[in-house]
Structure 1
Amino acid sequence: MFQLFKKKSSRPIISDFSILGADMHSHLVPGIDDGSKSVEMSLDMIRGLMALGYQKIITTPHIRPDYFPNTTETIMTGFGELQKAVEKEKLDIELECAAEYFVDYEFREKIDNEDLLTFSGNHILIEISTFSPPPNLYESIFQLKIKGYQPIVAHPERYTYYQVDEFRKLKDFGCLLQVNTMSLTGHYGKPIKELAQKLLKADLVDLLGTDMHHPGHLEVLQKASKDGKIMNLIANKEFRNATL
């Protein structure tokens, strides 16, 4: 159906994710969302990402008032503890911390107060409901843009109520799109994998992220690194990860 994974001879198949340089979506600050449960678990996942070739990790805990009512303070306190542990273990990795913001009506208040955690300058990671689009999505994006932020829509392939044209509209509105690498493996199901493939085929994807929450995700990524079709795709697409 798709020619997306057709082998190309212009570049060799790669064996890790070092070509990306940075992972910009993960949940490694321990104990504050549905990600890592402990510093030790975080360290194990960081070691695993390093072994897969990543040189920089931007971790992005959830901020979602109904489930994960984190604040800038709680996130940065937890991240500080993680940084100390990484330094103690002498892990040669660049770490940065931001957040993954759920777009709801409370998010607008954070925009107005400019109480936002960004990375690599002005980049901000946002997510929306996987069940239905929020009525204030474009208003929130507009407010972010006029305040100088660069919104990145996390895992658009999981919003299967949208067609490709809607994601093209989001791009035209000034958003970047970040697909989860694990979506390409079918980890989240066939419809999500197929939408990820469509977005890549349409050249709408700017970034890849692991969205790593636990060691099981590391195992999925390790298997993906041995999948020639997936790795050849990554080698032959231009992503922005290395610019972060």
Structure 2
Amino acid sequence: MGIFNNKIDITELYPKGFVDIHSHLLPGIDDGAKNIEDSLALIERLQKQGINNFRITPHVLGGVWENSSSVIKEKEADLRKVLKEKGFDNVNIHAAAEYMLDDHFSALLDNNDILPLKDKYILVEMSFFNPPFNLDDLLFQIQVKGYVPVLAHPERYNYYHNNMSQYEKLIEAGCLFQLNLLSLTEQYGKPTTKIAYELLKKGMYTFTGTDTHHKRHVHLMNEIATKKNKKLLTPLFENNIKTFSF
């Protein structure tokens, strides 16, 4: 009975003004929204859960999704136009990117062709198979360029699960951690959920995001709506608002 009493409505979870800094809502650009109709449907569902502000982050991955900054901004303009036409007046969007730490990213960084989440913050990710061999150098170069690396979903990198000191080293190297809210659900498996809670309780996350790709993700988000999670997540929600508000 206590478990059920702990549940809250998803609309009670997010504070007013919460900004989702990780999502794949731009149409037809990666493995997220397939078209503009899909984008609208996802935004409408997320809005009903209490999220109106989105810093959208399509994948930029060499050899797979080499989305240029100009293409991303074109897709953003298309979505912004349709949102206005459909009456989504209280929805704010800004397109950035989720950059894979690879050679393609290094070239973009060298050319100063980066779309930050806001100001100096850029969202980066690593391969799920192994970290880049030149990780330390990449993190150093990001900071030399004046950016702050926000590492997406560190809880999903299985090769760090048995060595928490690696997470500590990443933070010492200048990384800020972004929790995927979906990691607190069944989406990525129990080991990921376990590490997510461990990092959360240790206060190692700075920001959070949904990492929404499709409707199932939005539906799963209802699972995290508990009093316990709200207490744990509120500091991250507040950091998102303070740092990334429109």
Instruction: Assess same fold via TM > 0.5.
Output: yes
1:177-201: CA deviation from partner (whole Å, max 9, x where unpaired): 0010010113210111011111112
Structure 2 letter corresponding to 1:232: K
Per the alignment, do residues 237 and 113 of structure 1 end up closer, same or farther by CA in structure 2, a change over 3 Å counting? closer
Q: What is the aligned-residue identity percentage? A: 37
Q: How many residues align?
A: 234
Structure 1 unaligned blocks of 5 or more: 6-12
Given the alignment of the two structures, is residue 183 of structure 1 paired with residue 175 of structure 2, yes or no? no
1:124-170: CA deviation from partner (whole Å, max 9, x where unpaired): 00000111111121111111101111110000000121122111111
Determine the C-alpha separation between the residues in 1 that align with 2:102 and 2:234: 36
The offset of 1:14, in angstroms, is 7.7
Determine the C-alpha separation between the residues in 1 that align with 2:100 and 2:154: 13
Q: Is the 8 A contact 1:56 1:95 kept in 2?
A: yes
Structure 1 letter corresponding to 2:123: L
Report the equivalent of 1:242: 241
Alignment root-mean-square deviation, CA: 2.1
| Correspondences of 1:7-156 after superposition (within 5 Å) | 15-18=12-15, 21-91=18-88, 92-156=90-154
In the superposition, the TM-score normalised over structure 2's length comes to 0.89
Q: Is the 8 A contact 2:62 2:105 kept in 1?
A: no
Report the equivalent of 2:7: none
Q: Is the 8 A contact 1:14 1:235 kept in 2?
A: no
Structure 2 letter corresponding to 1:59: I
The offset of 1:237, in angstroms, is 5.9
Give the secondary structure class of the aligned counterpart of 2:196.
helix
The structure with the greater share of residues assigned to helix is: 2
Determine the C-alpha separation between the residues in 2 that align with 1:66 and 1:42: 24
Q: Is the 8 A contact 2:18 2:238 kept in 1?
A: no
1:63-108: CA deviation from partner (whole Å, max 9, x where unpaired): 0022212111111111110010111112111111100000112221
Report the equivalent of 1:230: 229
Report the equivalent of 1:9: none
Per the alignment, do residues 26 and 14 of structure 1 end up closer, same or farther by CA in structure 2, a change over 3 Å counting? closer
Structure 2 letter corresponding to 1:184: L
Give the secondary structure class of the aligned counterpart of 2:205.
coil
Structure 2 unaligned blocks of 5 or more: 4-9
Report the equivalent of 1:215: 215
The offset of 1:239, in angstroms, is 4.8
In the superposition, the TM-score normalised over structure 1's length comes to 0.89
Q: Is the 8 A contact 1:105 1:136 kept in 2?
A: no
Q: Is the 8 A contact 1:160 1:195 kept in 2?
A: no
Give the secondary structure class of the aligned counterpart of 1:177.
strand
Determine the C-alpha separation between the residues in 2 that align with 1:119 and 1:232: 25
Q: Which moved more, 1:231-240 or 1:131-140?
A: 231-240
Determine the C-alpha separation between the residues in 1 that align with 2:58 and 2:229: 27
Determine the C-alpha separation between the residues in 1 that align with 2:77 and 2:237: 33
Determine the C-alpha separation between the residues in 1 that align with 2:49 and 2:221: 8
Determine the C-alpha separation between the residues in 1 that align with 2:17 and 2:91: 14
